[in-house]
């Protein structure tokens, strides 16, 4: 009787273990809270309405880029082309309106399709060409940026009104923040509540085991890169809407911030682990750091150093987490 009771009694997790698990699952969120508290103490300008709206606007492009990249990283890939694809999507959209005399809404949809198609090409190269995702997307980075310069002849092009609307406001709320929230909800739905989302985790966890289990691995790979390109296209339109023009060098280097946001948010570069909510927090961490350092008048050169250290720490934590996971 006592033995049965003892065997059936639930084991209580030690307090330290629960805290450790919480920190492991929500480290980026805790870090964001601590960072915000420190900046609130350091400067009275941080926790003000205009500055918080500014943080949301600044985070919108990086976060939307990172949402799409989360699909790729969950599936154990990498996409280095998102910054260039964002620029190509914005430039293609602007060209459709200004040179192709297409309606504004067609130019907007066209920009999104350019992004999705660019991502699908990278996915096809990975799935059927057997290229490593690093190489395939590195090639797309160069191709997309080159096409952007060819289309624009190295000059800015004005955007369609429908795209410029993305950079405006609805009442007191900036449109980039609204788009950020909607994009995050769509991305979270895809990853958490669809069959394709489950397939992404399966492919990222073990590609061969997923294939033997009947998962259409090639279809999944093309889909994740197409989604990454689609979200990159949306980010490019957001950026051009804010600037009211498509710039040939827009979003240069943004792929590094997007990758950093995904990793800081708790995703594993080895695949199989990642959340859209974590990616959003990771993007906010990066933007809050930059915003706070600007308010404190820290040199932009030192800001790069700080961001680099944050990325290194995030990747180091990911490596330790994978090392300590039971096999």
* pLDDT tens profile 174-185: 999 999 999 999
What residue segments make up the domains of the chain, in order of their start?
44-320
Q: At what angle do helices 15-42 and 276-295 cross, to 10 degrees?
A: 30
Q: Name the nearest CA neighbour of 290 among 35, 27, 37.
A: 35
The whole-number pLDDT of residue 306 equals 86
Contact 85, 225 (CB under 8 A): no
Question: How far is the C-alpha of 318 from the C-alpha of 61, rounded, in Å?
Answer: 25
The whole-number pLDDT of residue 310 equals 82
Average pLDDT score over residue span 119-146: 97
The whole-number pLDDT of residue 316 equals 76
Contact 237, 108 (CB under 8 A): yes
pLDDT in tens, 175-221: 999 999 999 999 999 999 999 999 999 999 999 999 999 999 999 99
- At 12, the pLDDT band (50, 70, 90 cuts) reads low
The pTM of this model reads 0.90
Q: Which two tokens stand for residue 187?
A: 């991305």
The whole-number pLDDT of residue 321 equals 66
Beta carbons within 10 angstroms of residue 206's beta carbon = 14
The class level of CATH for 44-320 reads mainly alpha
Average pLDDT score over residue span 45-69: 95
Q: Which two tokens stand for residue 232?
A: 């990159």
pLDDT in tens, 271-327: 999 999 999 999 999 999 999 999 999 988 888 898 888 878 877 776 776 666 654
3-state helix/strand/coil string of 266-281: CCCCCCCCCCHHHHHH
Average pLDDT score over residue span 259-263: 92
For residue 214, give the DSSP letter. T
DSSP string of 150-172, one letter each residue: HHHTTS-EEPPHHHHGGGSEETT
Question: Token pair 């990283």 is at which residue?
Answer: 73
Residue 57 has pLDDT above 50, yes or no: yes
DSSP string of 80-97, one letter each residue: S-HHHHHHHHHHHHHHHH
- At 6, the pLDDT band (50, 70, 90 cuts) reads very low
């Amino acid at each position: 009787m006592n033995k049965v009771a003892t065997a059936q009694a639930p084991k209580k997790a030690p307090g330290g273990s629960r805290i450790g698990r919480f920190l492991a699952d929500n480290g980026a969120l805790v870090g964001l809270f601590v960072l915000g508290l420190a900046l609130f103490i350091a400067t009275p300008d941080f926790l003000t309405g205009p500055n918080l709206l500014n943080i949301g606007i600044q985070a919108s492009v990086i976060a939307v880029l990172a949402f799409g990249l989360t699909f790729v990283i969950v599936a154990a890939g990498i996409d280095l082309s998102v910054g260039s694809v964002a620029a190509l999507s914005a430039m293609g959209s602007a060209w459709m309106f200004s040179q192709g005399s297409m309606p504004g809404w067609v130019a907007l949809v066209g920009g999104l399709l350019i992004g999705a198609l660019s991502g699908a090409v990278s996915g096809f190269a990975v799935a059927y060409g057997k290229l490593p995702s690093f190489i395939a997307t590195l090639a797309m980075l160069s191709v997309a940026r080159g096409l952007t310069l060819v289309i624009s002849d190295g000059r800015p092009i004005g955007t369609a009104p429908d795209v410029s609307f993305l950079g405006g406001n609805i009442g007191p709320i900036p449109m980039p923040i609204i788009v950020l929230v909607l994009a995050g909800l769509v991305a979270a739905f895809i990853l958490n509540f669809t069959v394709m989302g489950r397939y992404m985790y399966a492919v990222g966890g073990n590609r061969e085991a997923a294939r033997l289990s009947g998962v259409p691995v090639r279809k999944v790979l093309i889909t994740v890169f197409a989604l990454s390109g689609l979200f990159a296209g949306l980010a490019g339109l957001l950026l051009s809407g804010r600037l009211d023009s498509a710039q040939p060098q827009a979003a240069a280097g943004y792929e590094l911030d997007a990758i950093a946001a995904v990793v800081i948010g708790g995703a594993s570069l080895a695949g199989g682990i990642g959340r859209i909510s974590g990616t959003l927090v990771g993007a906010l961490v990066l933007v809050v750091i930059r915003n706070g350092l600007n308010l404190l008048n820290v040199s932009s050169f030192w800001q790069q150093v700080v961001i680099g250290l944050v990325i290194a720490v995030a990747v180091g934590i990911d490596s330790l987490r994978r090392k300590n996971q039971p096999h």
